[in-house]
Structure 1
């Protein structure tokens, strides 16, 4: 019997990968070692510096940028992080911003210009509300993990080292903040800060109903030489991630597991809106359109050195996977 291949993995400690981490799911012909997860921000920096593992969760937009610059990695069609982004645009209560069009000419803060969330939020503002990125004045906190030259006409400044965009929003030094996470001011119910979209859930549900897009944030990268040498690993790994995901669905559908009062009702509402598998893996037509939109945003925002296509970003074996995957585990409805 041939010896199994051994790969290291660096990704978030998600329920979706729990069965893989615990060894209940094993990819055919491969042993996986999950290395220490350094945190949401640091993982992207490590991958950008080629200091990650063999297999890495990575910012889906920065991946497009890095590939356009010739980085020799590729990606599995495994999308571990998705998130709607209307609810992550925050404004100072005294900014005079009531609707997206009011962002025109305003001071907009971002922790970094190239987080996956920022690509999507800038794209949404332009496509859905007619507010292009060059209509706003950008104030950036941190250097991007992947270098880039701002496109002509883009008004951008780095804030002084040690300053925080979240604090500047509270003080009114910037008018709005596009953030991958929820700032403390919102968590602490600080009345000086509010969301641009007050009922962001309704806005996001309407967006999905109109577009069918549940935005893909992250891809799963793998060293290109590994796929070139052993192309069969694309199917083995993708199917293992899929099986782990089905374990997760079976586990968390049980309302005893999640300490939320209306968890089962929320689960049912989400499935009614988003379908049976909102976290679909593989390059289905829907996923190609979804991730293709992020790729298009990176291209249109002037952040790729050459125009990228999905064929530049995934190995041919990813397109050859037979879909849909055979579902092995189903949640028990008797709760």
Structure 2
């Protein structure tokens, strides 16, 4: 390969990415400059301004771009962020919402339509709890990272100037929220907003038992012109993320590394349900099933057409990846 290719990447600071952030793991043939930032500014900087050679991206925004035929960013099947989402459906204490089915016909706040957490939750609520997208008054906090065409009958209003959807939910102007993070009033236990799923962990575990899906939130995308010049980068970067995750799992086996009294019990509980590698990369059968469900939800929500496939999301050399021990 000759001299190393210089490139920049921005990713989240997680245990499974930290070996890349601190330089313990480096992709072969690459002189990598690693930056980190929270999700919203990271996604915005990459999607709007292409500030980096590669970045961890919202799966919702990425598939929306692919659905529009934009191919200047190409993902590898690395999924550094997943999250079950039943615990991120909220209701105003002033509302009559007591169960997920009560959200139909209500006014609900969201971060934006294409936020990945929202895509998953609208899909899950529709498929399993009877939520009809066109029977809700949607109010978004933020503008969309990528322009999109909403399904017939679905309308999304922007929050009024100077207001937030959290404030509107507290005051009862919005009956509920579907949000990717925990709102401040919940964190502060103010009693003004409550969760719709009363036992979200139990609901999420039952969802996994039923579907086998651990929702994927983010992927990693690389600038297409860099891949055109150096196609081997895709596989080498994939391998680096694999190795970083392996080291994180290895570190987690030592109970001294995390200040939780029952860490081992939590690990064993999770493995009993999710297996030894819940954050698996590559296009395994489980990951394909998860991504196909997400694309189905994204299609129902006006974000992609039928011509977008799981294989079409990722760089060809990373579609088939050898198994790795974890």
CA RMSD after TM alignment: 1.5
In structure 2, relative to structure 1, the CA distance for the partners of 1:175 and 1:319 (3 Å cut) is same
What are the within-5 Å matches in structure 2 for residues 16-55 of structure 1? Answer: 16-35=16-35, 37-55=36-54
Asked if the contact 2:87–2:200 (Cα under 8 Å) also holds between the matched residues in 1, the reply is yes
Residue of structure 1 in register with 2:211 after alignment: 211
Asked if the contact 2:282–2:320 (Cα under 8 Å) also holds between the matched residues in 1, the reply is no
In structure 2, relative to structure 1, the CA distance for the partners of 1:273 and 1:93 (3 Å cut) is same
How many angstroms does 1:311 deviate by? 2.7
Matched residue SS, 2:17 = helix
Return the alpha-carbon distance in structure 2 between the equivalents of residues 140 and 18 of structure 1.
33
How many angstroms does 1:57 deviate by? 0.3
Asked if the contact 1:65–1:305 (Cα under 8 Å) also holds between the matched residues in 2, the reply is no
Matched residue SS, 1:62 = helix
Residue of structure 2 in register with 1:186 after alignment: 186
How many angstroms does 1:304 deviate by? 2.6
Return the alpha-carbon distance in structure 2 between the equivalents of residues 238 and 112 of structure 1.
29
What are the within-5 Å matches in structure 2 for residues 134-149 of structure 1? Answer: 134-149=134-149
Give CA deviations for 1:57-89 in whole Å, capped at 9, x if unaligned.
000011011122232111011000000011000
How many angstroms does 1:312 deviate by? 2.2
Which deviates further from its counterpart, 195-204 or 88-97? 88-97
* Number of equivalent positions: 325
Give CA deviations for 1:132-183 in whole Å, capped at 9, x if unaligned.
2112111112111111232220132212122111111111110000110000
Which deviates further from its counterpart, 220-229 or 179-188? 220-229
Asked if the contact 1:109–1:176 (Cα under 8 Å) also holds between the matched residues in 2, the reply is yes
Return the alpha-carbon distance in structure 2 between the equivalents of residues 289 and 232 of structure 1.
27
Gaps spanning 5+ residues in structure 1: where? 328-335
How many angstroms does 1:326 deviate by? 4.0
| 1:89 is aligned to 2:89 | yes
Return the alpha-carbon distance in structure 2 between the equivalents of residues 39 and 216 of structure 1.
17
Asked if the contact 1:299–1:307 (Cα under 8 Å) also holds between the matched residues in 2, the reply is no
Give CA deviations for 1:178-207 in whole Å, capped at 9, x if unaligned.
110000111111222110001000000011
Return the alpha-carbon distance in structure 1 between the equivalents of residues 202 and 68 of structure 2.
38
Matched residue SS, 1:53 = coil
Give CA deviations for 1:85-114 in whole Å, capped at 9, x if unaligned.
110000012311111111111011112121
Asked if the contact 1:61–1:295 (Cα under 8 Å) also holds between the matched residues in 2, the reply is no
What are the within-5 Å matches in structure 2 for residues 54-203 of structure 1? Answer: 54-71=53-70, 72-203=72-203
Which deviates further from its counterpart, 131-140 or 240-249? 131-140
Asked if the contact 2:73–2:223 (Cα under 8 Å) also holds between the matched residues in 1, the reply is yes
Give CA deviations for 1:196-233 in whole Å, capped at 9, x if unaligned.
00100000001111111000000100111222333222
Gaps spanning 5+ residues in structure 2: where? none
In structure 2, relative to structure 1, the CA distance for the partners of 1:311 and 1:50 (3 Å cut) is farther
How many angstroms does 1:122 deviate by? 0.4
Return the alpha-carbon distance in structure 2 between the equivalents of residues 247 and 216 of structure 1.
21
Residue of structure 2 in register with 1:224 after alignment: 224
Asked if the contact 1:10–1:52 (Cα under 8 Å) also holds between the matched residues in 2, the reply is no
How many angstroms does 1:286 deviate by? 1.0
In structure 2, relative to structure 1, the CA distance for the partners of 1:116 and 1:54 (3 Å cut) is same
Matched residue SS, 1:91 = strand
Matched residue SS, 2:49 = coil
Residue of structure 2 in register with 1:333 after alignment: none
TM-score by length of 1: 0.93
Return the alpha-carbon distance in structure 1 between the equivalents of residues 229 and 311 of structure 2.
19
Give CA deviations for 1:37-71 in whole Å, capped at 9, x if unaligned.
23221111112113331110000011011122232
Matched residue SS, 2:144 = coil
Residue of structure 1 in register with 2:272 after alignment: 272
Residue of structure 2 in register with 1:325 after alignment: 324
In structure 2, relative to structure 1, the CA distance for the partners of 1:147 and 1:306 (3 Å cut) is farther
